[in-house]
Amino acid sequence: MGLNPIRCLALLVALAFAPCAALAGAADSAGAPPPVAKPGSASHPSAALANDSSARQAAAPGKSATKPDVSGYQELLNELLTVISAPRAPLDTRFDYEKFYDMRGRFERCTRIHRQMLAVPPSAMDERTRLAWAINTYNYLVIETATENLLIPGHGRQRYLGPNAINTRKGPFFRAPVVEVEGRSYSLDQFERHFMLADFDPATGGPPPASLDPRVHFAVVCGAIGCPPLQPRAYRGDSLEIQLDAATRNALALPRHLRFREETGIVEASAIFHWYVADFGGMDKAFRFLLKYAPAKTRAGIERRKITSISGMIPWDWNLNQTEHKKEI
């Protein structure tokens, strides 16, 4: 029996559109945000987001989505970062971990920011954007981890004195896994070494790779007062050169990173120049770096005294860079 022409046409149309409908349904499903964990959950935000970030990375479009979203992180800085320096003095800041800890909806907020910052895979970013992303992500992960583990278990409202004293459920502050990026888990130390320090191993004795920019040491903030100040603005790929330059010059204008006594000729520098000396290319290059970014008056004094090396290191202050609150009497 022959087929009705009208029925044949209808059948062909249905077959043509069926795959499109299936793809549309799949796209809608992939784009839907995952359920947010409830406050008080034992899960760390990074664990809750591991599968979600992988799915979003796989679904991320090409070049049109290579800039990470730092809006949530920027809002956090706007709200909880305190400038403690005087006007026209070198910038110095503190972060209010205690206030953030007590905020209603903190877990959901951390989850949202975490998701935003991991939504674009770093492998899809250009070099400058990736480095800016890495600095922002590291600084945010420090805030997230320090806030989540702020109080000493079993001691009421007593908090840890500094990040190096914090022990998370997964290990010490800097060595515990805190984030998963493109299927690989990282601690803070591992994240810094991989994404910002080009996986350079000082033990090899070789020179640092050209891609390692030592100025990054004055942009990352480990949560201690001894660190460079946390900057009020998130880093961006298109302004990274200016921002790194400004952060480095600002840090070396602070006495916890550079001290010079012209009467004695003593130049004391941050422990960064000792711990990461290989990243600068050795102590001689570290001194030249210091001289380049030191305040003009300090540089002139050092050159006038014909000093050619760092005399000593400034002790590191491991206390948490917590905003101070006036105590009510």
pLDDT reported for residue 19 = 37
Say if residue 46's pLDDT is above 90. no
Say if residue 54's pLDDT is above 90. no
Vertex 80 angle, CA 166 and 323, to 5°:
60
pLDDT reported for residue 326 = 77
Residue 2, in any domain of the structure: no
Query: pLDDT per residue over 115-151, tens digit each?
Result: 999 999 999 999 999 999 999 999 999 999 999 999 9
Residue 4, in any domain of the structure: no
Distance in angstroms (rounded) separating the CA atoms of residues 263 and 213: 33
Q: In this predicted model, which residue has the larger pLDDT, 260 or 26?
A: 260
pLDDT reported for residue 328 = 55
Residue 37, in any domain of the structure: no
Name which of 91, 120, 138, 127 is nearest 257 in CA terms.
91
Name which of 32, 34, 98, 105 is nearest 72 in CA terms.
105
Say if residue 320's pLDDT is above 80. yes
| pLDDT band at residue 113 using 50, 70 and 90 as cut-offs | very high
Residue 64, in any domain of the structure: yes
Residue 12, in any domain of the structure: no
H-state helical runs in the chain:
5-31, 45-59, 71-80, 97-102, 106-118, 127-148, 188-191, 240-251, 272-275, 277-280, 283-293, 296-304
Residue 114, in any domain of the structure: yes
Residue 218, in any domain of the structure: yes
Name which of 161, 258, 162, 260 is nearest 218 in CA terms.
258
Domain count, the chain: 1
Kindly state the average pLDDT of the residues 280-289: 97
As given in the structure block, the two tokens for residue 316 are 């590191």
Distance in angstroms (rounded) separating the CA atoms of residues 194 and 129: 15
Query: pLDDT per residue over 62-110, tens digit each?
Result: 444 479 999 999 999 999 999 999 999 999 999 999 999 999 999 999 9
Asked if 236 contacts 249 with a C-beta cutoff of 8 angstroms, the reply is no
pLDDT > 90: percent of the chain? 78
Kindly state the average pLDDT of the residues 150-165: 96
Domain holding 80, by residue range, is 44-314
* First-to-last C-alpha distance (Å) of the chain: 98
As given in the structure block, the two tokens for residue 118 are 């991991």
| pLDDT band at residue 297 using 50, 70 and 90 as cut-offs | very high
Residue 182, in any domain of the structure: yes
Distance in angstroms (rounded) separating the CA atoms of residues 81 and 84: 10
Say if residue 34's pLDDT is above 50. no
Q: In this predicted model, which residue has the larger pLDDT, 260 or 62?
A: 260
Query: pLDDT per residue over 238-256, tens digit each?
Result: 999 999 999 999 999 999 9
Q: DSSP assignment, residue 196? A: I
Kindly state the average pLDDT of the residues 185-213: 96
